[in-house]
Structure 1
Amino acid sequence: MDTLADRLPFRTSMSLEKVIDFWISERDRRGSIWASQAREVLARLEHVPELRGPRIDPAVARRHPELIRMLLSAHFAEASVGSFGSASVPFSYDTIYETPGSDALGVLGQAALFTGTRFEPEMMVRGMIMAGYEHVLRFVYGIDVDFDPPLVITVHDPDSGLQRHFQIVWDSRFMTVTADEGTRRATPDELEELLAEPMDFERWAEVLPPDRFELGGLGITWAVEVTGPEASSLLKEALLRKDALSSRERIEELEAHIRTLLGQADIEMGLIAFDGDASIEGIDRAFPLGKSLLMSGGSAPKCPSRENSSYAEVFRTPAPHVVRDLETCGCNTGFEHRLLQDGIRSLALLPLFVDARLVGLLEVGSRSPGAVTMYQALKLKAVTSAFATALQRSLAEREDQIQSVIKQKYTAIHPSVEWRFRDAASHVLGIADHDDHPDQEEIVFHGVYPLYGLTDIRGSSDTRARAIQADLSAQIELARAVITEASRHRPLPALDELGYRLVQLGARVAEGLVSEDESQVLAFLGGEVEPLMDQLAGFGDTVAPHVEAYRTALDPELGVVYRERRDFESSVARFNEAVCAVIDREQVIAQDVLPHFFERFKTDGVDYNLYVGESIAERGGFSKLYLHNLRLWQLQLVSRVQWELDRVRPEMATDLLPTHLILVQDQPLAIRFRVDEKRFDVDGAYNMRYELVKKRIDKARIRGTSERLTQPGMLAVVYSHNDEGHEYRRYLEYLIADGFFEGEIEQHDLEDMQGVLGLKAFRVAVRREVPFSAPIEGRRPSLRRVEEIVVGGG
């Protein structure tokens, strides 16, 4: 690190003459309290002539520490540890004396000055140059510009482990400034110009060349401790930041400021936010911000007697509440138990109010009994309003995030149509000034083309029934083993009767389930067999292991055997997760081509609706070409979904076979937002046929056969009109050539269903091996290629 003298453009020197002049004047002044000491100082100084003169060597001064101490004794407290001061060459860290407190803490060293402030080193140097010119103006020109910017430095106290803050004060009473002989004096106009531009150092150097001035005498520097006010100021400043309470790291930063403010290194801080019911009863619905002492586990612990807890007191009065020792305070509830469990012994709770409304609690705790006092709580009272404001801001941001999640996850307002809702909301706000009850504008999109797709699990209902059947049979068999073994030790007719009923139940379940079988079996086992288990375990040494085997097989939460069903449900979840991952990824790409409304639903499989048209595109630009592109995209999507399911199939405990279906409708329709259901639905009686077809086609059969149209690993495309069929045949032929599908394109007429007549379908197999030309992240047709396919170019 460069020394300050290296960076300062002025010459500097040291002289003790002004200090010696002080002692001479005190020796000669009648009634001076320093007269006796002045005579002693001056007498000793006569034996050290090298300390006299306009310039002395600081190294020489340091060889006479006792005499230097006596010379400066009138200006520095005698050996006071609490005094922080030093004497040095002016504008230098070439020190000849430092108080014990300053020396121990290093508060006036160059490292502290350059690293313990908020200013960059370069800014510090510029400030020192300005201070040097301020001395030139005062000593040479008699102009006092009062340049004394507040400078606070921060140092680490190794004894307490805390930060301490000090304001630096420069004392220039023993300084001198001399200009070299022949130095041109600045004119009044030039001086006025300089004072108008204090940071134009080039101009200052032209008018007052720094190398023509010598800053001499003795510089005295003081460090005045301002830890309390500065810590409070830094705390308030940190709370003004937008992200003041956004993370645990930010909370820990605030905690460090509180520790400094209170002068205790083991202080811990927490924040509880109330989003609604701010009461001791509603504390279950409160939540920690960053961290909380009470809610260290993420929420308030169970506490039936919470109204008797320390926390209840803070809801009865707006004043801070202090508990000096949680072990002996007389409150012995679940809240105190949690705090003591985490090592907290003393506690202060400060309510945080915004407009007289309680929005949160500031918790301040210590692991030492009696460490947190009411005096400290009152110190913190000065910053509670800043905490409350920051907390309120965080609550508002959290509400925005909640609304965003609700909007994204739980409502049907898709980003592609959000603009229409904003227009409607703006309309309502625009007329609200002159209409207390403005009508809600209807959201309808006319002339949109629907695309519907479904990836289903073949025979999911049967697979689920078999899983239930297997679990029930296993539980019955485990129960029968207990009864049989108990009966072997103690032959009892009652046990024989129980065993007979279990055999009958097992046989009935093995034949096949009806709707009430599951509840009847579980009611019998839970009501008549399981209550006997403890008693039966005592019938003999070999019975207890069977009882243990029965109980171990039960799901701890459901209380029933749930192995096969868990495997099935987890496999369905993995199946849906894989399908949705592909759809969501591909949707991003499709939306980039042209915005459209999209929604998907998960059951035993995934189905989705897509609507596209001029009325949905906020900036217009829709054409049939984009519709054809989306239809091709949808067909490719089927293959990509199948390939992903093939990839994750080994991860599924239950083998699930996917089927794929697409419904074609080339006739545009209208969709309307249903306010009561908060979702879009097809509008108009004529368009309802489309919805009816969607609900029934997954069960459609090929005319004249009992064969289901949808088959594992194959795509079924259902349509009504020949034009639709011609278009989709071209698409499928292209995609077979491009490696998405394989084999022949089957064409079928479908059996009529209730209210649904005259449907036709294509069926084609998805290519099972991902071709090099069509990887999961592979190529997609350009709009020009789509146009060629549509017009029959192949």
Structure 2
Amino acid sequence: MDINNHIESPFTIKVSFNKMLERYEELIHADNDFIAGNAKRVLAIAEEHPILREGFSEFSVFKTHEKEIEGILQDAFNPLLTQNEIKTAALPFYNFVFNPSERFKSILKSAGEDFELEIRNMPTEQTYIIACSIILNFCYGYSLNFKRPFFYEIPDEHGVMHYYKILYNADFTEIKPKPGAPKITQADYDELIDNFDNIDLWKEKFPPNSYEFEGFIISNMFDVTDDQSISNIKSGLIKEVKGKDRNFLNNFQEIFRSLLGLKSIKVGFSMYVKETDSFERVYGVGVNSYLLNELETAHCSDALCNWSYNQLLVEKKYFSVSDVKRALAKNDKQPPHIKVLDQQNIQSAIFAPIANENGLMGILEIVSEKPKVLNSINANKLEDVMPFIESAIERSKTEEANLIEAVIQKECTSIHSSVYWRFVEEAKSYIRAQTNKNESATFKKITFDNVYPLYGQIDVKGSSDARNSATQKDLLLQLNLAKKILQKSIDEKNLPIYEQVMFQVSEFGKDLTTNFKVDSEHEISLYLKNEIKPIFELIAKTQQALQPDIEDYFNKIDSDLGVIYYYRKHYDDTVKLINRNMSSLLDEKQIEAQRMYPHFFERFKTDGVEHNMYIGESITKEDSFDMLYLYNLRLWQLQVMCEMENQYYHGQHEYPTALEVASMILVFNQPLSVRFRMDEKRFDVDGTYNARYEVVKKRVDKAFIKGTEERITQAGKITIVYSQKEDEAEYVRYIKFLQSKNVLADDLEFIELEDLQGVTGLKALRVSLLYHKDHDEKNFYTYDDLMTTIAS
């Protein structure tokens, strides 16, 4: 078979020893008789077998002339060094070698019969272009630095990967253009050096088989497994250290196996938490901690003995355990780190501290199920890789701290993503001022001018009454239980003091049902804890027959509050569920709204969910704001409020207590300024005029319809409060649109509000919602229909 078959290359390859033989022709005239005699020996072989000088491309020639080729190459492949040198003759860019040294043969034999020799970092698609670059050098004198280090990856008999760097000697090669090969001009060269990846261009300038390659190359190889393993560890850690990708962890383990020359090892990590002096597991796919085993976290003093604690945390030195069983047998105290290794069937290990100038960050754990394979000798190999691991862990901890900060910011402050850029700008200014040692460096006030506000709320109707009712039921339940126990105690052991206590309990019960006041809950709760509890503890000791009743009483009492918390818990849980579900829906819909046009958004959980939005040029940081985006956001808000109502009432059966909610939107016609209050870590309106907006927000949901005692917010209806005629016209258009979509009913009301303190002239639109039946948009029913359905 011909070497050039099935290969696309600018070369036609012909193996020839002519260039080497020409050197021997020069050596015939050497002063040294031994050198001259050896040259005559080589030339005699060539004269008897002219094909070796003329060249050949058939693979069969390598076999038929194997001894002759070996004879010609004897000086380059010294038989005295063949057991040590990793060397072979080869063809450029092809995974075909001949006349290998004995050491190279042994390496390939250890790799197994199925192993195929292949240059690791020689991309197939670039082979053609690299060959063309060589032609530019050899034939046209253009000095192109195309050299790259090439490697073989070859496993040993244990499956441990070794890396061999290849150095080529091309002294015995010739490259010649064939007749008709396009001549490369300076203009061609200038075009080619800017188009390395344009394979079609290179093939145009260097058509396939347009040049002849004659000769061979010598490949000298060196085992660089340690250096390459260290490089791979460095590269891997630069990319990732947290272990989100299982392939990364598997590769990382393989790298350590190559570094230590051991297939049986596994790698683990334990992160160190300075604040609690404890180790904790690294969160990620497949990351093990052999110190913690199945624990998520453990105090260092529980995971280590005194000596190992001092070695790792104080001295920051690594240590090894070469034989776990022997270490356990020698020590009666069973050191915890040795014991936990034995529990996992680990028989040798290396523990190395990962530390920087600020102290310990974690522990690198290398373990094996075989004794003695890990020891203090091969532990020294970690010296070269620990700096990279320390750097990566340091970066990982910084990233984790940044992530935690981001979560805190998202969950615990009001710095919304839409305005975050403004805080970044001010922070940069503040840091610059500090760097320049400006003593007056301050974090300046952050304001946004000319923004349009939007406010909405979905609130629990009659929340105070509902909670008071739950409180009454809980306290009455506890008082009645107390009365029954006191009565039984009096029947068995008539003590006048118990009669007086029972009288007081009865009086509290009467007051609860006839005259419940704000301070009633506090007063009765204190009495039950401070007076009744000690009495019942005494009764339990002195009247054995009442012990079950006393135990039942205390079992019904909440351990944290000291009182019965049953109906109130149902109420509180319901409000929490309302808040959580409504907030989740609002947050989900907000993602869509931000895509429409960026704006500030914040929400608050009270007895329901409130939200603020601000939209305007100063928030977006771009000259793109148009009033159309404000109108779009108002319509979006109205639609989402309707959807939140629908979701609540359809899921009402899942709530512990039946509560009603009512929705309201406040429309403010004029733009205003908002500023971030550093002390409260939230945004608020700026200026006296703008404060009117905040006053209305706080009071309007409690307002009455003018001339009546009816609140403007009502269950089953959405209320839109405004003051300007143009706002009324705008929202009437939105309502008609949603009526056409069967979202709102045809009972639109135009109402006036009673004057609020300092605020007059407010009006409202109020309209009933239509609730979807089983999420089927073709079937709707009113709030009254809904309540009837729920009641039945």
Query: TM-score normalised to the size of structure 1?
Result: 0.69
Structure 2 contact 93–127 (Cα < 8 Å) conserved: no
1:782 alignment counterpart: none
* Counterparts in 2 of 1:575 and 1:295: CA distance versus 1, 3 Å: farther
Counterpart of 2:749 in structure 1 is: 746
Pick from 343, 349, 352 the counterpart of residue 351 of structure 2.
349
Are the counterparts in 2 of residues 85 and 223 from structure 1 also a CA contact under 8 Å?
yes
Task: Determine the C-alpha separation between the residues in 2 that align with 1:363 and 1:527.
Answer: 60
% identity of equivalent residues: 27
Gaps of 5+ in 2: 780-792
Instruction: Give the C-alpha shift of residue 747 in structure 1.
Output: 4.3
**Which string of whole-angstrom CA distances, capped at 9 and with x for unpartnered residues, describes residues 503-556 of structure 1?**
9989988977952456776886899579979x99999xxx99x999997x9999
CA–CA distance in structure 2, aligned partners of residues 531 and 68 of structure 1:
110
Matches within 5 A, 1:444-463: 444-461=447-464, 463=466
Q: How does 1:547-586 map to 2 (within 5 A)?
A: 571-586=574-589
Is residue 253 of structure 2 the alignment partner of residue 247 of structure 1?
no
**In the TM superposition, what is the alpha-carbon distance from 1:179 to its structure 2 partner?**
9.8
* Cα offsets for 1:265-302 (capped at 9, x unmatched): 2333334556xx758x5446896687452466685324
2:676 to 656, 673, 696: 673
Question: Which of residues 289, 297, 308 is equivalent to 1:300?
Answer: 297
User: Within 5 Å, which residues of 2 pair with 1:550-629?
Assistant: 571-591=574-594, 595-613=598-616, 615-616=618-619, 618-619=621-622, 627-629=630-632
SS at match of 1:389: helix
How far does residue 641 in structure 1 lie from its aligned partner after superposition?
2.0
Report what 1:695 is aligned to. 698
Distance 1:663 1:256, change over 3 A: same
* 8 Å CA contact 2:304, 2:337 repeated in 1: no
- In the alignment, what sits opposite 1:112? 117
1:637–1:154 Cα change, 3 Å: same
- Relative to structure 1, the CA distance from residue 556 to residue 254 in structure 2 (aligned partners, 3 Å threshold; closer, same or farther) is farther
Contact 1:598–1:609 at 8 Å: present in 2 too? yes
For 1:341 and 1:640, the matched residues in 2 are separated by 56
Alpha-carbon shift at residue 261 of structure 1 (Å):
0.4
Give the C-alpha shift of residue 107 in structure 1.
8.3
Please give the alpha-carbon distance, in whole angstroms, between the structure 2 residues aligned to 1:130 and 1:109. Answer: 34
Q: Is the 8 A contact 2:16 2:53 kept in 1?
A: no
Does the C-alpha gap of structure 1 residues 334 and 562 become closer, same or farther in structure 2, counting only changes over 3 Å?
Answer: farther
Pair 1:227-2:225 in alignment: yes
Q: Write the mapping of 1:15-34 to structure 2, written as runs, cut at 5 A.
A: none
1:386 aligns with 2:388: yes
TM score, norm. by length of structure 2: 0.69
For residues 170-204 of structure 1, the C-alpha deviation after alignment (integer angstroms, 9 at most, x for no partner) is 6899x898999x999xx9x99xx9xx99x998899
Aligned position for 2:236? 238
In the TM superposition, residue 263 of structure 1 has moved relative to its aligned partner by 1.6
How far does the alpha carbon of each residue in 1:668-689 deviate from its partner, in whole angstroms, 9 at most, with x for none?
5443321111211233445444
Provide the C-alpha distance between the structure 2 equivalents of 1:672 and 1:504, rounded to a whole number of angstroms. 54
Aligned CA RMSD, in angstroms, stands at: 6.3
Please say if 1:714 is aligned against 2:705: no
Deviation at 1:431, TM superposition (A): 5.0
The answer as to 2:521 corresponding to 1:515 is yes
Deviations 1:622-680 (A, max 9, x none): 56665555444433332222233344445445444321122344355443321111211
Q: Gapped runs of 5+ residues in structure 1?
A: 40-44, 777-794
Q: Provide Cα deviations, 1:388-444, integer angstroms capped at 9, x if missing partner.
A: 222333333334434433443332223343444445445545655373223443233
CA contact (8 A) 2:82 2:101 kept: no
Q: Read off the aligned partner of 1:515 and give its amino acid letter.
A: E
Letter in 2 for 1:151: F
CA distance in 1, matches of 2:651, 2:403: 33
Q: Identify the residue that residue 412 of structure 2 maps to in structure 1.
A: 410
The equivalent residue for 1:162 is: 160
Q: SS of 2:745's equivalent? A: strand
Report the AA paired with residue 113 of structure 1. Answer: E
The answer as to whether partners of 2:473 and 2:567 remain within 8 angstroms in 1 is yes
Q: Secondary structure at the match of 1:515?
A: helix
Alpha-carbon spacing, 1:469–1:205, altered in 2? closer, same or farther (3 Å): same
Matched residue, 2:106: 101
The aligned residue for residue 645 of structure 2 is 642
Q: 1:3 to 1:348 in 2, by over 3 A?
A: farther
Equivalent residue number for residue 790 of structure 2 = none
Query: C-alpha displacement at 1:306, in angstroms?
Result: 6.1
Is residue 377 of structure 1 aligned with residue 379 of structure 2?
Answer: yes
The residue number in structure 2 matching 1:442 is: 445
Could you tell which deviates more after superposition, 317-326 or 656-665?
Answer: 317-326
**Corresponding letter in the other structure for 1:438:** A
1:699 to partner: Cα distance: 3.4
Counterparts of residues 764-775 of structure 1 (less than 5 Å): 764-769=767-772
- 1:156 maps to amino acid: P
**CA displacement at 1:600 relative to structure 2:** 1.0
CA contact (8 A) 2:662 2:714 kept: yes
**CA positional deviation for 1:445:** 3.7
Question: Which residue identity does 2:682 align to in structure 1?
Answer: R
CA distance in 2, matches of 1:146, 1:575: 69
2:262 corresponds to: 264
Quickly say closer, same or farther: Cα 1:98–1:451, change in 2 above 3 A.
Answer: same
Q: 1: CA distance between counterparts of 2:747 and 2:70?
A: 106
Does residue 662 of the first structure (1) align with residue 665 of the second (2)?
yes
From the superposition, tell whether residues 434 and 235 of structure 1 become closer, same or farther in structure 2 (CA, over 3 Å): closer
**Residues 259/707 of structure 1: CA separation in 2 closer, same or farther (3 Å cut):** same
Residue pair 1:90, 1:215 contacting (<8 A) in 2 also: no
1:319 corresponds to which of 317, 320, 330: 317
Deviation at 1:454, TM superposition (A): 0.9
1:293-348 residue CA offsets vs partner (Å, 9 max, x unmatched): 24666853246656745344222114323344566375757666655555555443
CA distance in 1, matches of 2:138, 2:732: 93
Given that 2:4 and 2:13 are in contact with CA atoms closer than 8 Å, whether structure 1 keeps it comes out as no
Any residues of structure 2 matched to 1:201-216 within 5 Å, and which? 210-211=211-212, 214-215=214-215
Query: Partner residue of 1:789?
Result: none
C-alpha separation in 2, matches of 1:346 and 1:618: 60
Give 1:379's aligned amino acid. Answer: K
Equivalent pair of 2:88/2:97 in contact (CA under 8 Å): no
Contact 2:271 2:363 in 1 (8 A): no
Asked whether the 8 Å contact 1:599–1:610 carries over to 2, the reply is yes
User: Contact (CA 8 Å) 1:273, 1:360: kept in 2 or not?
Assistant: yes
Relative to structure 1, is the Cα distance of residues 737 and 384 closer, same or farther in structure 2, using a 3 angstrom cutoff?
same
CA deviations 1:737-787 (Å, max 9, x no partner) are 5543214233445566666677554432112238999999xxxxxxxxxxx
Q: What displacement does 1:568 show?
A: 5.2
> 1:547-575: per-residue Cα shift (whole Å, max 9, x none)?
99997x99999999978767655544443
Task: Describe the superposition over 1:128-151 as per-residue Cα deviations: whole angstroms up to 9, x where unpaired.
Answer: 7988999999xxx9xxx9999643
Provide the secondary structure at the position in 1 that maps to 2:438. Answer: coil
Greater Cα shift, 504-513 or 417-426: 504-513
Task: Give the conservation status (yes or no) of the 8 Å contact 1:12–1:90.
Answer: no
Partners of 1:633 and 1:177 in 2: how far apart?
Answer: 76
Q: Secondary structure at the match of 1:671?
A: strand
For the 8 Å contact 2:270–2:280, the answer to whether it is kept is no
Q: C-alpha offsets along residues 588-622 of structure 1, whole Å, 9 cap, x if unaligned?
A: 45545654433211133100123345554534565
Compute the displacement of 1:385 (Å). Answer: 1.6
Contact kept, 8 Å, 1:12 with 1:91, in 2: the verdict is no
Give 1:412-427 correspondences, 5 Å limit.
412-425=414-427, 427=429
Aligned to 2:786: none
**Deviates most, 594-603 or 254-263:** 594-603
Query: What's the secondary structure of 1:385's corresponding residue?
Result: helix
Q: Which amino acid aligns with 1:225?
A: D
Which moves more between the two structures, 710-719 or 147-156?
147-156
